[in-house]
Amino acid sequence: MKFFIDTANLAQIKEANELGILDGVTTNPSLMAKEGIKGEEAVMNHYKTICELVDGDISAEVVSTEFNAMVEEGKKLAAIHPNIVVKVPMIKDGIKAIKWFSDNGIRTNCTLVFSAGQAILAAKAGATYLSPFIGRIDDSNWDGIELISQISHIYSVQGYKTEILAASIRNALHIVRCAEAGADVCTCPLDSILGLLKHPLTDIGLAKFLEDAKKFA
Ligand code: E4P
């Protein structure tokens, strides 16, 4: 399973990248707004900076909702860097745009996915990645991980090439369960990635080893 970081914060992207395990970055309009980025030029420059920091796929989301506008916006985003993946919402015009991008060699990430039916449509349209929102499904009292398993089964049975990119990750256990359920990629906040490191027995064991090491230093 590939690891993406789910943020537009440059310091966090650098920190995750320095671990050596980062395969890409996902952003969305809310994450960009959180960083105080305003105006088309600033947005484009921010994506360019992220592409220069990380050698992997970088999702940049369109904010248009009409087919022609999505295509124009997506073309501009894709022109920033070869690693840009155009993120498109799961709506009717979004599916048309994903098909257009797929036919024209532009890679896509279909976002705001909450059902297996949506996952089938996105795969049929030729999406490169599919982003089911695990945490938001859990928040609404359904099982986000179960959806990853279901889509993984369908894609395997049908031979769809679209990669399942588990999104809306809230903790380290989500990452482990996504790996178990067959996600191809997990996009995670930095805290959830670092949460994978934690185990009290590791801390206790290391403290004891360091204490004992003093005896033969
Ligand atoms: C990333 O691709 C998604 O936009 C993001 O994971 C959504 O996360 P949230 O549900 O925590 O906002």
Question: How far is it, in rounded angstroms, from Cα 24 to Cα 20?
Answer: 11
What's the whole-number mean pLDDT along residues 145-149?
98
The closest of 46, 40, 45 to 9, measured between CA atoms, is: 46
Question: How far is it, in rounded angstroms, from Cα 138 to Cα 130?
Answer: 18
Question: How far is it, in rounded angstroms, from Cα 124 to Cα 119?
Answer: 9
Instruction: Judge whether 45 and 7 are in contact, CB under 8 Å.
Output: no
What's the whole-number mean pLDDT along residues 72-89?
98
**Ligand 1 atom nearest 87 alpha carbon:** 2
Q: What is residue 178's predicted lDDT score, i.e. its pLDDT?
A: 98
Q: How many Å from the N-terminal Cα to the C-terminal Cα in the chain? A: 41
Six-digit token string for 178: 């996504």
What would the pLDDT profile of 167-193 be if each residue is shown by its tens digit?
999 999 999 999 999 999 999 999 999
Q: What is residue 174's predicted lDDT score, i.e. its pLDDT?
A: 98
Expressed in angstroms and rounded, the spacing between residue 131 Cα and the centre of ligand 1 is 9
Which residue owns the Cα nearest ligand 1 atom 6? 168
Q: What is the largest CA-CA distance in the chain?
A: 71
Judge whether 208 counts as a catalytic residue.
no
Instruction: Judge whether 23 and 1 are in contact, CB under 8 Å.
Output: no
DSSP tag of 133: B
Q: Which residue is it, tokens 């059902």?
A: 115
Question: How far is it, in rounded angstroms, from Cα 210 to Cα 71?
Answer: 58
Work out the angle at residue 69's Cα, subtended by the Cα atoms of residues 64 and 71, and round it to the nearest 5 degrees.
105
- Sign of torsion over alpha carbons 65, 127, 90, 163: negative
* Active-site option among 38, 76, 87, 92: 87
**Ligand 1 atom nearest 167 alpha carbon:** 6
Which residue owns the Cα nearest ligand 1 atom 7? 168
Tell me the best of 2, 4, 6 to mutate to test the pocket of ligand 1, counting ligand atoms within 8 Å of each CB and taking the most.
6
What's the whole-number mean pLDDT along residues 146-155?
98
**Ligand 1 atom nearest 135 alpha carbon:** 10
What would the pLDDT profile of 14-47 be if each residue is shown by its tens digit?
999 999 999 999 999 999 999 999 999 999 999 9
Expressed in angstroms and rounded, the spacing between residue 192 Cα and the centre of ligand 1 is 13
pLDDT for residue 151 is more than 90 = yes
Which residue owns the Cα nearest ligand 1 atom 1? 167
pLDDT for residue 217 is more than 90 = no
The closest of 148, 159, 137 to 182, measured between CA atoms, is: 148
